[in-house]
Chain A
């Protein structure tokens, strides 16, 4: 048994007051969860403290919340560990009053209904429905089961493991910038069908998601959703798989220029080792790094549309040095470093490894 203070972001919609912080003192074993702590406060002190919860075992997906600023499940976060993290944060952050306490807030990127309860319908479920979330087989079903590669089922089991808790949505930085982004959960759900050999509309699904201005190319690779996901679904990985599959299906002409942009990026790093921002814009619209200049269908329009972004980058200081403004003078990595980069590329091409816990397990991933 140990004592903890939970500092909870509360909002009582019928009070006429705005959101406020309230502290609850709880006493429980460090191995119990933050949700257990909240339920103790609710049971003993204030029954109006509202939080969705059901299974207490990280399977129902009800208790998505932010603990010490991190999106996750209340039931899967041990209170002892949450306290350690709060103390660690306090020791490096700006000094706060009193001892560090565990902060608990509702999930982000969603409207708050009451205390820790958010409106998932408008921000999560509507987007799940956006990706046509049911199997679309063609023709009559077979008399027995569909015969499929055993690995294909294990492959999509990773996205089937999603419990729709919304932690990834809450943590998503792209969604913060573009609330219309389909988002990590719905795109992981989309992969569940794209990767399913029984689904007959793979290409149509991929075309749709690549061409949507808020689709697969809206993800910025920040890894937040991978960190937040309590089930190892790694939504970002599923989005990258969607991108690869889209290219495999020959979908490389999306109006978002997403494919060309990522291709330009990959080639740039292969050639120069670091990002030549000045060249990236141009390359994204007209690949020239390897061989002949190949303008994309939307090159002129895209370049013109990029101008405000470029000007903003110069103005805010993101691109100030000449190498960041003048295309082509960005230096290569010194010495043999560029050869190391090339070796990494070679390795990656030869050993494409998927981050699938149903295949690899936890241990191999950390060792």
Chain B
């Protein structure tokens, strides 16, 4: 049985950062990922990472912008920690080798980003996530004696001991199909978000909410699951992301009449209002007939100097050319709001601890909550690094003071039995996995998106519950052991359906409009009744609802205007 003090599941930014932090404490660390670490979705974060590092800037300003961006649902103690620790973490990454953009003096340079009162976004062209992640992977290779890498190992369940503490995970080695029980004193879930529940989405095919679902099944609480970010600038149909950095560099949003419509919605910040505000503005323009016939509005990057575009938005030049056939330096590109980010997730404290002892969560899988109802651009990379590091350090400390508890083989046998039963389903015994996934994605995008109401969410929930039943008899074609992606897709579908159900239940419950949750039947924010988190825990009949307080330190809720 592979045994480690700290086991990290997922090897994007949060997971790799957690593994390195735990290794620094001198404990034995394993990092397990269903794909090779550099394939992780942190790659896709283009624009940058926020920190109040400039002399004129302050952590308080960064914290306030984040709180306002969250529509006051973010927990202010956690946000303070993130904003205070950001500068040191950026410098740490710079020292490790991240090739951050420099200003003329050779110092770290910044760009503007949405919802921020100062230019405090540090970046590497428009490949910031990729650059940081590859540098972290360099460090994992460097520290291979302290951190064992399990690349292309898929987790199917957490192991919980008799005391209710997490003591390991069940995995499948993708390369040969063997099942393995891992033992660990602390387990950190850093498996990313659940974007694949929606179609289209900017998220990669691997973003199937694995960590959120595994924690939920193990009894951990989830929080803010209704808060799903729709990014304002994605390509219609395909869902590809156009970085907010484009607007940070000065690009305009135009409707079909050529109007810079943000004047009407956010006269001060214009295109750089927070994402929920911009996405709603775009969707309103489209719904009221001022969009293009393909259901889009336009992003005009031609107003940004060409030299600057090549230097700072090169990836977007490629996306435009390869995936939309548009030269963004010459003509506007059609975009629309698209599913992008999971603000909610596994409820944790500021050290990544969940309700299950020994179980941690970090990054998009977790909900600390620093993003509340709406995440600001360039705060997600920061979240992964700060809370990845804190989780790793705390998980290591716990491992040092805890005796190992060997996970029971029963959990391994149960997982093997589930897999055997999926494998044994005859062709035609039910629907195809891909059909169910397709119906799930289009349903959620139609009914649990930028604008929501009770009827729509209820219909979506009904569909999700029917699909959960249908998934039980869905069949797969591949019966082999080596790289059986068909089987993994069936397991991922189960994860996605749990995520979808929780999102619908929470969205139905929150009878107000706040951040990314806009209820057309309850269009106002209602602090009196709903300035609180919705927590969900697995019960006999699915998710059971409870509430928890929003932590307010020094910023009282006020009306949000951009």
Contact = CB atoms under 8 A, between A and B. Distances in A.
B480 interface: yes
Given A55-B44, A59-B44, A135-B97, A47 B477 contact: yes
B95 A146 contact: yes
- Most B C-beta atoms less than 10 A away, residue of A13, A32, A135: A135
A180 interface: no
A91 interface: no
A55 B43 contact: yes
A12 interface: yes
Contacts of A48: 477-478, 480, 484, 486
Contact of A56 (B91, B109, B205): B205
B104 interface: yes
B61 interface: no
Contacts of A231: 318
Nearest to A62: B39
Contact of A359 (B142, B310, B480, B485): B310
A133 B143 CA distance: 12
Contacts of B477: 46-48
A147 B310 contact: no
B212 interface: no
Contact of A133 (B104, B138, B306, B489): B138
B124 A157 contact: yes
Given A55-B44, A134-B97, A161 B127 contact: yes
Interface string B306-320: 110111001101110
Interface string B83-124: 000000001001111011111111111000000000000001
A48 B487 CA distance: 9
B463 interface: no
A64 to B, nearest CB: 11
A98 B131 CA distance: 46
B281 interface: no
Contact of A113 (B40, B94, B323, B482): B482
A121 B134 CA distance: 16
Contacts of B39: 52, 54-55, 60-62
Nearest to B325: A31
A363 B329 contact: yes
A149 B102 contact: yes
Interface in A132-151: 133-135, 137, 141-142, 144-150
A144 B482 contact: no
Nearest to A151: B102
Nearest to A141: B95
Contact of A57 (B107, B206, B309, B319): B319
Given A14-B480, A59-B44, A47 B310 contact: no
B134 A160 contact: yes
Given A55-B204, A133-B141, A135-B97, A361 B310 contact: yes
A44 interface: yes
Contact of A114 (B102, B483, B489): B483
A231 B134 CA distance: 15
B481 interface: yes
A21 interface: no
B325 A50 contact: no
A129 B151 CA distance: 15
Interface in A318-367: 357-363
Interface in B288-346: 306-307, 309-311, 314-315, 317-319, 321-323, 325, 329
Contacts of B485: 47, 50
Contacts of B139: 134
Contacts of A58: 318, 322
A203 interface: no
Given A113-B175, A157-B125, A14 B204 contact: no
Interface in B35-70: 35-36, 38-41, 43-44
Contacts of A150: 101-104, 106, 109
A261 interface: no
Given A58-B318, A150-B102, A47 B482 contact: no
A156 B91 CA distance: 19
Interface string A302-313: 000000000000
Contacts of B138: 133-135
Nearest to A12: B480
Query: Which of B97, B319, B433 is most buried by chain A, counting CB atoms within 10 A of its CB?
Result: B97
Contacts of A144: 91, 107
B230 interface: no
B476 interface: yes
B432 interface: yes
Contact of B317 (A114, A161, A163, A361): A361
Nearest to A162: B134
Contacts of A43: 432, 434
A153 to B, nearest CB: 5
A297 B17 CA distance: 48
A61 B137 CA distance: 15
Nearest to A135: B97
A57 B241 CA distance: 9
A145 B483 contact: no
Contacts of B104: 150
A54 to B, nearest CB: 4
B311 A154 contact: yes
Contacts of A50: 478, 483, 485
Interface string B129-146: 011001100110110000
Given A147-B106, A147-B107, A134 B142 contact: yes
Most A-side CB within 10 Å, residue of B94, B102, B486: B102
Nearest to B46: A59
Given A56-B204, A360-B310, A160 B44 contact: no
Contacts of A54: 35, 39, 41, 204-206
A108 B106 CA distance: 42
B216 interface: no
A327 to B, nearest CB: 48
A196 interface: yes
A9 interface: no
Contacts of B204: 54-56, 60
A149 B106 contact: yes
B499 to A, nearest CB: 18
B240 interface: yes
A164 interface: yes
B295 to A, nearest CB: 16
A198 interface: yes
A110 interface: no
A160 B136 CA distance: 13
Contacts of A31: 323, 325
Contacts of B310: 357-362
Contacts of A133: 138, 141
A358 B311 contact: yes
A18 B339 CA distance: 42
Contacts of A149: 102, 106
Nearest to B241: A57
B91 A57 contact: no
A42 B478 CA distance: 10
Nearest to A60: B39
A60 B434 CA distance: 22
Given A58-B322, A163-B38, 9 more contacts: A13-B482, A52-B39, A59-B127, A76-B322, A153-B99, A157-B125, A161-B125, A161-B314, A196-B99
9 contacts: A47-B476, A55-B41, A59-B44, A60-B39, A62-B36, A113-B483, A120-B36, A157-B124, A358-B314
Interface of B: 35-36, 38-41, 43-44, 91, 94-97, 99-109, 124-125, 127, 130-131, 134-135, 138-139, 141-142, 175, 204-206, 238, 240-241, 306-307, 309-311, 314-315, 317-319, 321-323, 325, 329, 432-434, 476-478, 480-486, 489
Task: Please name the 5 residue pairs, one residue from A and one from B, whose CB atoms are nearest each other, closest first.
Answer: A43-B434, A361-B310, A135-B97, A47-B477, A48-B478
